[in-house]
Amino acid sequence: MNTQAIGGMPEITYNFAYLDEQTKRMIRRAILKAIAIPGYQVPFAAREMPMPYGWGTGGVQVTAAVLGRDDVLKVIDQGADDTTNAVAIRGFFEKTAGVATTTSTTEATIIQTRHRVPETALGENQILVYQVPIPEPLRFLEPRETETRQLHALAEYGLMHVKLYEDIARHGHIATTYAYPVEVAGRYVMDPSPIPKFDNPKLDDCPALQLFGAGREKRIYAIPPHTKVRSLDFEDHPFRVQKFAKPCALCAATGVYLDEVILDDRGGRMFVCSDTDYCNTRQEAGHRGEMGVPAESASSDVMPGLNPGIHAVPPGHPVQGVDGRVKSGHDGVPVESGREGDAS
Amino acid sequence: MYVAAKGGEKAIRNAHALLAKRRRGNRNLPSIGLDQIAQQLTLAVDRVMAEGSLYDVELAALAVKQARGDLIEAIFLIRAFRTTLPRFGYAKPLDTAGMQVRRRVSATYKDLPGGQLLGPTFDYTHRLLDTSLGQGGVGGEGHEGHAPATQPETSVEAEPMPRVTDLLGREGLIEGAPEDDGTEPFDLTRAPVSFPVDRSTRLQALARGDEGYLLALGYSTQRGYARSHPFVGEIRFGDVEVIFEAPELGFELSLGTVQITECQTVNQFKGSATTPPQFTRGYGLVFGQCERKAMSMALVERALRWQELGEEPGAPAQDEEFVLSHCDNVQATGFVEHLKLPHYVDFQAELDLVRRMRAEHEEERREAGLKEAAE
Amino acid sequence: MSAQALATGFSDPVDGAQATFRAAMWALSRPGRVEVLDAGLAPPAPLIPEAAALALALCDYETPIWLDEALAAMPAVAEFLRFHTGATIVADPAEARFALIAEPMAMPDFAVFAQGTPEYPDASATLIVQVEHFTGGGLLLEGPGIEARASFGATPLPADFAARMTTNRALFPLGVDLLLAGSGGVAGLPRSVTVWEG
């Protein structure tokens, strides 16, 4: 960081990718240890970032430490490139690192994500950086770090199994639907971040490098490529993922994670891909769901994908000219499949 | 057909424009100057410096302005700036005994060397709204005739003001200050904390901890949750010189002064078969004039020392991991406020499960009903 | 301070450190696969450019460095490292976060280095081992980062290298991590890798 006096207050300029080099080295060392001990949470001296804790400071620090000038960065939140926080983080790196950004999963060399793993299979030179709020999988069973650290040291994970089994006794199901715990390389139990358990199987034997950053909790962990990642389960209650009853209403994809969009107050709803790049790519290739838009009618500032429809001003002061949501909905209640996508 | 606008970027831009507009307020009124904030909202500026862990009045005033008076937001701005600053070295420990005292009160002695010095304080003011502050014209604060009589803030050529704890210490009545064994203190801004921590780490965390949080915890110790019978031995506020020793230069130089508030409590004694009974102490030190914070810090600091002093644990203020893990308001506000970020992927997963369980429940009831009807 | 020590850091500290780190990161992520490492450094002998680049990219005042006998014998090496990284050079290998080894045939038992603790297995040493060639054979690797199995080789390495790595693997999650550097590349052997002769 440099300051240069202009007028009354100093002008402030920042290093490439914001972090100073000493901080990057410290994070890089943590990343190397995290890779060497898959699933183990390496403590690191997370810095205060110019964005709030809980909004991706861990992921941002990992990305900043890894990023080079030739990288192509993609940032997603809830699977979408255009959710506000994804836009803000992408803008941060465009500004501080000047790197190329993309929404294409296949073009990206680094993908920073919150809550999803892309539907498109990742390749071996890609890095997936997860934003993690609570890295400790045992935290909600034992709030004390001093205790959980012991449990990891002893590989004592009985507590987790008891919790999952209590769920089954009480609800007939394992009630954990996201942030579903996994065992990495046969040793550490790890929180995969709050991705839906639907995404858990994608972590197993993934050719890409997966890095996890928790800024507020000051932890970094990793899954090297082609590492065994098993979702915890029981013989009589095997791990299962969600399966949706209907295909994506826009691109007709099946076997993907869908978002439910409420269309009106009379029960109208539709289900569309949460992964906007995947959905757009399919639509461009001519796939059409029952509520899809013909390709030629989509103008450049209209994305026929899911978007939260964010407005900067209250309704009545529209800043966006486009709002074509119409149509009564259909019922697409998801149902649980059999053992599809078992991570083991 | 369903289409949604790709509005993220534009919406953010517009939101920020609205924010800037709201921050500026009515443009017919002059923009508030940083010097005005620094001079007239001093305690807000002090709090931002204290919890932002950066002593810079002008930047703190800027942060208060930019944050529209939201002090936690201002603290956040300062922290994010502070983290990028290179370190040139470490100052020598501040000597608070050498403070140019602006205010000093002791609750343990009626009179003492250097005396009691009320200084600038809200204490003993009647909390009656002073409408004259709201008047701009003749008779109002803006008018020269209204200017309060200028009082010298510091006691000119004041006699030395030894710290109360030093006076007690001379008699051996209070535990000694911790020995400086020469080891570098842990720096929680440069290394991750792992529990349990030592006292200096605790003090660092508390010094930048949230005032409201420490106030509540300190208050709880007075109400029986880890009571340790505190007396305010002394609270002092004033200017202390910052001395930097550059090894390559071979001499010390003064970097200037900072204003700080120090609170030392004198607490219930300890003693054992080998050591005679002694008072113990709690310590609070904060940038600027932040007495409430310094006192709360001293109470909580003392409560956290239960183990070392052989006391019974069990109160919230004694729980080191709990107290320290949650005292940072930048962390706390970030994580609480992150709940407004989209969580619809996870919510979808929960919706799915609840719907499924409801369907199963319905099915079970239907089956039970059929069975009953058949019987 | 010798002129040589002053002369040769990364030509661009930001990009040089980043590229070197990325090579090390992929090396440990894909054990046995040699990543290209072009540092453009000219460190004092017997320190080689690849090992020097790793040290410059990863070390600073927070990471004590241990030098093997061959490197410690040349004061210019310690001078170079101290100047460019700010790291302290320690005599006790147990204190080192990084160990630089110029003569692999003479390298000490891994047990002399910090292995981490059960609570903090990351508090362990990383060994930067200088090699002359990567041979692509002689050792078989298995473990996280490797699809099925990989073959790997480098020279010179002690005859009992596979046995040492087996002992190291048995300590998992404790143990040391190795970065083998030389011949324009870097390869990683993290503690998680299983090594045998084959």
- The chain A residue lying nearest C27, using CA atoms, is A32
Q: Is position C70 within any domain?
A: yes
Looking at the structure of chain C, the number of domains it has is: 1
Helix axes C13-29, C49-58, angle to 10 degrees: 100
Quick one: pLDDT at residue C52? 97
Catalytic residue among A251, A289, A332, A341: A251
Cβ pair A172:B357 closer than 8 A: yes
Q: Which candidate from C15, C59, C122 shows the least CB-CB separation from A40?
A: C122
Q: B340 CB near a chain A CB, below 8 Å? A: no
Q: B147 CB near a chain A CB, below 8 Å? A: no
Quick one: pLDDT at residue C6? 59
pLDDT band at A169 (very low <50, low <70, confident <90, very high): confident
**Chain A, 100-119: which have a CB under 8 Å from a chain B CB?**
114-116
Cβ pair A303:B6 closer than 8 A: yes
Which of A24, A33, A189, A205 is the mutation pick for testing C, counting most C CBs within 10 A? A33
Query: Does the structure show a pLDDT above 80 at B123?
Result: yes
Separation CA B53–CA B187 (nearest Å)? 12
Q: What is the 3-state secondary structure (H, E, C) of chain C?
A: CCHHHHHCCCCCHHHHHHHHHHHHHHHHHCCCCCEECCCCCCCCCCCCHHHHHHHHHHCCCCCCEEECHHHHCCHHHHHHHHHHHCCCEECCHHHCCEEEECCHHHCCCHHHCCECCCCCCCCECEEEEECCEEEEEEEEEECCCCCCCEEEEEECCCCCHHHHHHHHHHCCCCCCEEEEEECCEEEEECCCCEEEEC
Cβ pair C121:A25 closer than 8 A: no
Q: Which candidate from A9, A259, A335 shows the least CB-CB separation from B62?
A: A9
State which residues form the domain around C123: 11-197
Catalytic residue among A58, A59, A79, A279: A279
Q: What is the 3-state secondary structure (H, E, C) of B59-125?
A: HHHHHHHHCCCCHHHHHHHHHHHHCCCCCCCCECCCCHHHCEEEEEECCCCCCCCCCCECCCCCCCC
Bigger pLDDT: B89 vs B80:
B80
Q: Is position C71 within any domain?
A: yes
Cβ pair A15:C14 closer than 8 A: yes
Chain A residues with CB under 8 Å of B189 CB are 45, 47
- Summarised one tens digit per residue, pLDDT across range C20-55 is 999 999 999 999 999 999 878 999 999 999 999 999
Helix axes B71-82, B57-66, angle to 10 degrees: 130
Calculate how close chain B gets to A163, using CA atoms only, in Å.
Answer: 17
Query: Does the structure show a pLDDT above 80 at B95?
Result: yes
Catalytic residue among A56, A215, A273, A329: A273
Quick one: pLDDT at residue A333? 37
pLDDT band at A318 (very low <50, low <70, confident <90, very high): very low
- Summarised one tens digit per residue, pLDDT across range B138-184 is 556 655 555 555 555 555 456 788 899 988 888 888 988 888 888 88
Bigger pLDDT: B92 vs A314:
B92
Report the mean per-residue pLDDT for chain C. 94
Calculate how close chain B gets to A300, using CA atoms only, in Å.
Answer: 10
Regarding pTM above 0.80, the answer is yes
Q: What percent of chain C has pLDDT over 90?
A: 92
Cα first-last separation, chain C: 47
Cα first-last separation, chain A: 47
Quick one: pLDDT at residue A321? 28
Q: Are B239 and B216 in contact (CB under 8 A)?
A: no
Q: Which range (A115-119, A288-292, B192-196, C5-9) has the least confidence?
A: C5-9
Which residues have C-beta within 8 Å of that of residue A337, sequence separation ≥ 6? Answer: A240, A241, A242, A243
Q: Are C130 and C189 in contact (CB under 8 A)?
A: no
Quick one: pLDDT at residue B142? 57
Q: Which range (B101-105, B188-192, C143-147) has the least confidence?
A: B188-192
Quick one: pLDDT at residue A292? 80
Chains contacting chain C through 3 or more C-beta pairs under 8 A: A
**Residue A226, SS3?**
coil
Quick one: pLDDT at residue C123? 97
**Residue A118, SS3?**
coil
Quick one: pLDDT at residue A193? 97
Q: Is position C46 within any domain?
A: yes
Cis peptide before C46 (omega within 30 of 0): yes
Is A273 noted as a catalytic residue in this protein? Answer: yes
Calculate how close chain A gets to C3, using CA atoms only, in Å.
Answer: 25
**Chain A, 214-233: which have a CB under 8 Å from a chain B CB?**
216, 218
Bigger pLDDT: B200 vs B246:
B200
Q: Is position C6 within any domain?
A: no
Q: Is position C157 within any domain?
A: yes
Structure tokens at A220: 């970094």
- Summarised one tens digit per residue, pLDDT across range C176-193 is 999 999 999 999 999 999
Q: Which candidate from A35, A42, A223 shows the least CB-CB separation from C25?
A: A35
Average pLDDT over residues C7-16: 87
- Summarised one tens digit per residue, pLDDT across range A50-100 is 999 999 999 999 999 999 999 999 999 999 998 889 999 999 999 999 999
Q: B58 CB near a chain A CB, below 8 Å? A: yes
Q: Is position C2 within any domain?
A: no
Q: Identify which of A240, A244, A242, A254 has the alpha carbon closest to the alpha carbon of residue A344.
A: A240
Q: B79 CB near a chain A CB, below 8 Å? A: yes
Quick one: pLDDT at residue B304? 96
Query: Does the structure show a pLDDT above 50 at A192?
Result: yes
Separation CA B60–CA B258 (nearest Å)? 14
**Chain B, 196-255: which have a CB under 8 Å from a chain A CB?**
196
Q: Model ipTM?
A: 0.97
Which of A16, A35, A70, A206 is the mutation pick for testing C, counting most C CBs within 10 A? A35
Cβ pair B5:A249 closer than 8 A: no
Chain B residues with CB under 8 Å of A5 CB are none
- The chain B residue lying nearest A90, using CA atoms, is B9
Q: Are A303 and A276 in contact (CB under 8 A)?
A: yes
* Torsion sign, CA atoms A198, A200, A205, A210: positive
**Chain A, 47-106: which have a CB under 8 Å from a chain B CB?**
47-50, 52-55, 57, 77-79, 82-88, 91
Q: B84 CB near a chain A CB, below 8 Å? A: yes
Separation CA C44–CA C59 (nearest Å)? 17
Domains along chain A with CATH numbers: 13-231 (3.40.50.11310), 242-336 (no CATH)
Q: What percent of chain A has pLDDT over 70?
A: 82
pLDDT band at A300 (very low <50, low <70, confident <90, very high): very low
Cβ pair A22:C60 closer than 8 A: yes
Is A56 noted as a catalytic residue in this protein? Answer: no
Which of A310, A317, A326 is the mutation pick for testing B, counting most B CBs within 10 A? A310
Is A206 noted as a catalytic residue in this protein? Answer: no
Quick one: pLDDT at residue B178? 83
Instruction: Supply the CATH number for residue C111's domain.
Output: 3.40.50.11310
Quick one: pLDDT at residue B140? 60
Q: Which candidate from A16, A32, A152 shows the least CB-CB separation from C28?
A: A32
Q: Is position C193 within any domain?
A: yes
Q: Identify which of A159, A221, A155, A162 has the alpha carbon closest to the alpha carbon of residue A188.
A: A155
Quick one: pLDDT at residue B316? 96
Q: Is position C132 within any domain?
A: yes
